[in-house]
Amino acid sequence: LYDWTTRKRRVLPRHKFRGARTTFAQWPALDPKLRFSATYYDAWISYPERLGIELLLDAGRLAPDSLALNRAQITRAGSAFELTDMTTDERFPVSAKAIVNATGAWIDSAIARLDASEKPLAPLVEGTKGSHLILDNEPLYQALGGHMIFFENADGRICIMFPYLGKVLVGSTDIRVSEASRVRCEPAEADYILAAARLVFPAIPVHASDVVFTYSGIRPLPKSDHAFTGRISRGHSVHRIAGDIPQFC
């Protein structure tokens, strides 16, 4: 683990298990009905935006002839493609031997835009909406003790809570959406998330007035018949779509 505060690397155990006494010694405000806890030290990405920038920098270093574009859209233009600068509306012809379609929840709409065949493909993605809250609640922030907490909500879904830039981030919902579009956190979702926070730390008052920011996104989950969205796989997969120009989604 690299500690950006001290600029030093630390070797940590992969996990640690605690009984109730040790758990409450470290987090005294946790739900008193808890019997044990476990800590693991991987998979914490506090700043995903930074990870995205690092991927671009790595690509530039390893493939100096590559080009990263923002606010650009690729569309089919006969047997080739056309790239549109969405800021200036300039258009440029482009060609490709293969296309990697990593558009997340928009995979199916991107396939439809890039595929020259008239036969529609079966949907690959069925997104679910996830909303999160940023809370300004100092007692809650202190109670976390610098840790991210994963917990099971009353409906059986796994939720998260962790310190974020001096505030507390809590999430999330998991609601099916029929198509990918711009989304926002609705009042019922905020109520759901606030109730989840009270479940973990019942002695700490958590109010709607603590909310300083909300955000939502769509998870690009595989098409599934599961009635309970929490059971839909979060795993990764690659699909090759045949055509005059192969697509990898």
Listed by start position, the domains of the chain span 1-42, 128-219
Which of the two residues, 75 and 11, has the higher pLDDT score?
Answer: 75
Q: Give yes or no for residue 1 having a pLDDT over 50.
A: no
Structure tokens at 118: 């008239």
Q: Give yes or no for residue 3 having a pLDDT over 50.
A: no
Q: Which of 149, 105, 97 is nearest to 123 (CA)?
A: 105
The CATH superfamily assigned to 128-219 is: D-Amino Acid Oxidase, subunit A, domain 2 (3.30.9.10)
pLDDT at 129: 93
pLDDT at 9: 59
Dihedrals phi, psi of 80, to nearest 5 degrees: -120, -160
Query: Is the preceding omega at residue 237 within 30 degrees of 0, hence cis?
Result: no
Give DSSP secondary structure letters for 82-111: EEEETTT--EEEE--S-EE---GGGHHHHH
pLDDT at 4: 44
Q: Give yes or no for residue 33 having a pLDDT over 80.
A: yes
Residue 198 CA, chain-centre distance (Å), reads 23
